[in-house]
Amino acid sequence: MSGLNKPLYVQIQEYIAELILSGKLPPESKLQSEREYSEELGVSRMTVRKALTELVSEGLLERRHGSGTYVARPRVTYESHELINNLKAMRDRNLATASQLLEFCEVVASRRLAELLEVEIGHPLYRVVILRFANRVPVILEHAYFPCSRCPNLEDWDLEKTPIFDLLVGVYGVNLSRISQAIEAVAANDAIAQQLRVEEGYPLLMLSRVFYNSNTGAPIEYSQDFFRSDFVRIHMEVALEPLRIDPVDFPRPQRLENLSTDQKGGPPSGLT
């Protein structure tokens, strides 16, 4: 280790990070225990623990309860516009992709789905659930609903091999120029945890969205995609218009000698 002017924990942090980034500690590798690092490097366990904690916060390491500390799998950075087609985004990154159709059926629109898709309550909908794999690891679980009247005969297509986005555009002639979407952090329930092969309560990112057909103005799809938080990070870049702030008489701090006893923090008046 070099950089003797740096704190010991920083030197250890950089040493382990270099092993990871150079490939000497590949993803999923289990690290030595704090005691073993302490003895090997001649430092206290507290120093080792602080270095490992910093690497966990940076996303290079992950702690697994009852098992130890492991090298984290590298996350895939999605640009926000790529979220409309998960399969294409993974293929563009040369990931080995696979898909498993878990559910395809017709359901009737509940009040909530009817509002989101702008149909009558009870309107027939296709419900599609697909599990996406990257390098053989299940990473995204997609739940989607389509009004049957707007996507007739959807069952005729192989949804495991063909992105639904491509079908909407290429087969149904949908012009997808408007999308409403929201991202939030959620915990995996038992069913989703089993499908994504994580523990119940595992942190996920849930992307909810509605696709609108600009040709008709009507929604064509409502979906919820669940991303494993150890797989994806989402990057958004926003172009801002030049900001102009009108002159404002901003408040200025009062001089301490002009403050009353109450304002200086002394006992409030009226109390003895």
Mean pLDDT highest for which of 3-17, 72-86, 178-192, 235-249?
178-192
248 pLDDT more than 70: no
Task: State mean pLDDT over 8-18.
Answer: 90
Residue 270: per-residue pLDDT: 42
Greater pLDDT, 75 or 70:
70
pLDDT for the residue numbered 127: 97
**What domains, with CATH codes, occur in the chain?**
8-71 (1.10.10.10), 76-235 (3.40.1410.10)
- Please say if the pLDDT value at position 272 is more than 60: no
The larger pLDDT score, comparing residue 239 to residue 229, is at 229
Query: Quick one: pLDDT band at residue 234, thresholds 50, 70, 90?
Result: confident
pLDDT band at 250 (very low <50, low <70, confident <90, very high): low
**pLDDT class for 246, splitting at 50, 70, 90?**
confident
pLDDT tens for 131-166 read 998 878 888 999 999 999 999 999 999 998 888 888
Residue 63 pLDDT exceeds 60: yes
What band does 258 get if pLDDT is binned at 50, 70 and 90? Answer: low
For residue 130, pLDDT beyond 50: yes
pLDDT at position 202 over 70:
yes
- For the whole model, what pTM was predicted? 0.67
At 227 the pLDDT is 92
Residue 268 has pLDDT above 50, yes or no: no
3-state secondary structure the chain: CCCCCCCHHHHHHHHHHHHHHCCCCCCCCECCCHHHHHHHHCCCHHHHHHHHHHHHHCCCEEEECCCEEEECCCCEEEEHHHHHCHHHHHHHCCCCEEEEEEEEEEEECCHHHHHHHCCCCCCEEEEEEEEEEECCEEEEEEEEEEECCCCCCHHHCCCCCCCHHHHHHHCCCCCCCEEEEEEEEEECCHHHHHHHCCCCCCEEEEEEEEEECCCCCCEEEEEEEEEECCCEEEECCCCCCCCCCCCCCCCCCCCHHHCCCCCCCCCCCCCC
